Amino acid sequence: MEQYVIGVDFGTLSGRAVLVSPQGGGIIAQCVLDYPHGVLEGPAPGWALHVPEDYLAVLENTVPSLLRNAGVSPGQVAAIAWDATSCTMLPAMADGTPLASLPDYRDVPHAYIKLWKHLTAADEARYIQETASRYCPELLEDYGGTVSAQWMLPKILQILREAPEVYRRSELFLEVTDWLTLALTGSLSRSRCCAGFKNFYRTTQGYPPAAFLKQLDPRLENLVSEKLRGPVTAPWETAGRLSPRWARRLGLRPRIPVAAGIIDAHAGLLGSGVTEAGQVLLAMGTSTCQMLFSRERRVIPGIFGMARDSVLPGLYAYEAGQACVGDLLDWFVRTALPAHVTEAAKGTDIHAFLCREAAELSPGSGGLLALDWWNGQRSPYGDDRLSGLMLGMTIHTTPAQQYRALMESTAYGTRLILDAFQAGGVPIREVFACGGISRKNPLMLQIYADVLNRPIHIARQEQTTALGAAVLAASAAGLFPSPAEAVRAMTQPAETVYRPDAARAAAYDSIYREYRTLAEYFARENPVMHRLRGQ
């Protein structure tokens, strides 16, 4: 019988699963489910929570649907794997039961899943960064010298400070990726990708030493041995085997391999066919991650992380990112549009309407220049306290000009990151893009090509992250000699390429120099944004 693998992508708002034929057959079937409870807000701005059961609901609904829709029998599925946003973490019991599922903790926000964009641990992140700078500076080398509120350790420290009973009761702190592995297989295993990029794990040294954790707080001294325990497994390796109970619930054979899993944007590397040093991928959605491979270890200021053997064996993977891209455009249309524009766009997609108007404009139209920091600055400054800016507004400024300026600002932010990589000795040869924006917003991709002055190759498959997870499933099942060969067999070349226009690229080059000046001023020279926010 022909064999298939399943990849599941757990995003911010929904989960999507794909059934893939490993031998060049591509995606045979796909299914999407919005999380029943959506994203929950917490007791203060900046909270972003998920209900654990929503992830299980995705699996129980999408996986059986794939088999029904494709007419595939359970015996034909060789393995399953998933990716998820990161660091998206939860406190749990030793058997994987989420603390939020226990009656005593259903009304306790700190017991729930904290999403990657849960940012209220900013004080803890700064404290960890300052402490590491004094006592353990080598800890920061692979993370651009910074610590983000999005990561595991700041979130754990926040729980310890604000909800010590939750910390005490928790027997494990888990990435969602690893929690799903434990829940569906009964095996505790942690993805090397998640641990390496979001929790200071190095293959040669492990987690941060107990002495450093004790320096942060004496109660954290045994954090690793007590609550971060478990083997760390490469994403393409088998982390466990599907339990009979979950095999029945999903309609699959028991004991099939479950791969260790991976961060969602990193799965996009595999699903986009990126396997070589010097290839960079822009995973463009609510936020954007810039990821690339290198054969060398370089210390790059301001990156979001670097880890060897975390995506493909033998390669260093680097990650940087922008915390607000699609979210920035959504914020604009929700809060800043005048009534006459929404009325004129009635019956059409508002983003498509604004793009049509913005496409008629020239680079930097209306003399506008924006900073894309509406949700903090991730790379290269690593400062969640920085905020957005629109410079050059007049009484003649139009909504279309503002919308274009915001798109341009995210392209400048990407160029700033790629420039930092190249300055640090990590060369860039090709640029690829995946994610919703790359397929839905041609104007934005053309702006990126012009600002970067490079061709941008768009991944052929729509569900690149889920396909990347399926690549890991095929590797765990032993269907290919190596993960890189699995990528080459299961993906196809880019179908669309955006090429830069020389005149627009020259215009953007001039504006980008102004962007860099503004960015350096507000990030390095004048902390006015901090002061205005009371920080």
List, for residues 439-481, the tens digit of each pLDDT value. Answer: 899 999 999 999 999 999 998 888 899 999 999 999 999 999 9
> Whole-model pTM?
0.89
Q: Supply 345's token pair.
A: 């766009």
Distance between CA atoms of residues 410 and 478, nearest Å = 40
For 4-264, which CATH superfamily applies?
A: ATPase, nucleotide binding domain (3.30.420.40)
Residue 508 has pLDDT above 90, yes or no: yes
Q: What is the pLDDT of residue 23?
A: 84
Give the confidence band of 494 by pLDDT, cuts at 50, 70, 90. Answer: confident
Residue carrying the six token digits 């992250």:
465
User: pLDDT above 70 covers what percent of the chain?
Assistant: 100
114 Cβ contact list (under 8 Å, min separation 6): 48, 49, 88, 89, 90, 155
Q: How far is CA 54 from CA 36, 58, 188, in A?
A: 6, 6, 21
Amino acid at 499: R
Burial category of 528 from C-beta neighbours within 10 Å (exposed 0-12, middle 13-18, buried 19 and up): exposed
Per residue in 221-238, pLDDT (tens digit) is: 999 999 999 999 999 999
**Helix pair angle (326-335, 399-423), 10° resolution:** 160
Q: What is the pLDDT of residue 304?
A: 87
Q: What is the pLDDT of residue 436?
A: 87
Q: Are 31 and 466 in contact, with CB atoms under 8 Å apart?
A: no
Pick from 468, 461, 376, 534: which is nearest to 7 by CA?
Answer: 468
Looking at residue 524, the DSSP 8-state letter turns out to be I
Distance between CA atoms of residues 381 and 244, nearest Å = 48
Per residue in 112-152, pLDDT (tens digit) is: 999 998 989 999 999 999 999 999 999 999 998 989 899 99
Exposure string of 444-482, with b = 16+ CB inside 10 Å and e = fewer, is bbbbbbbbbbbebbbbbbbbbbbbbbbbbbbbbbebbee
409 Cβ contact list (under 8 Å, min separation 6): 328, 369, 370, 371, 372, 515
Q: Are 125 and 147 in contact, with CB atoms under 8 Å apart?
A: yes
